Amino acid sequence: MIEETLLEALDNMGKALDHVQAQFIGVRTGRANASLVEKIQVEYFGAFVALQQLASFQVPEARMLVVKPHDRGSIAAIEKAVQSSDLGLSPSNDGVVIRLSFPALTEERRKEFVKVVKNMAEDGRIAVRNVRRDARKLLETAKKDGEISQDELDRAEKELESLTHTTVESIDKAFTRKEHELLEV
Residue-wise pLDDT tens digits, 144-163: 998 989 999 999 999 999 99
CATH topology of domain 34-101: Gyrase A; domain 2 (3.30.1360)
CB-based contacts of 109: which residues, under 8 Å, 6+ apart?
Answer: none
Nearest to 77 by CA among 30, 42, 41: 42
Question: Taking the domains of the chain in order of start, what are their residue ranges?
Answer: 2-25+106-183, 34-101
Residue-wise pLDDT tens digits, 66-81: 999 998 888 989 988 8
Phi/psi class of residue 91: alpha, beta or left (left: φ > 0; alpha: ψ in -120 to 50)?
Answer: beta
Global pTM reads 0.68
Determine which of 44-48, 130-134, 181-185 has the lowest per-residue pLDDT on average: 181-185
The three-class DSSP label of residue 2 is helix
2-25+106-183 belongs to CATH 1.10.132.20:
yes
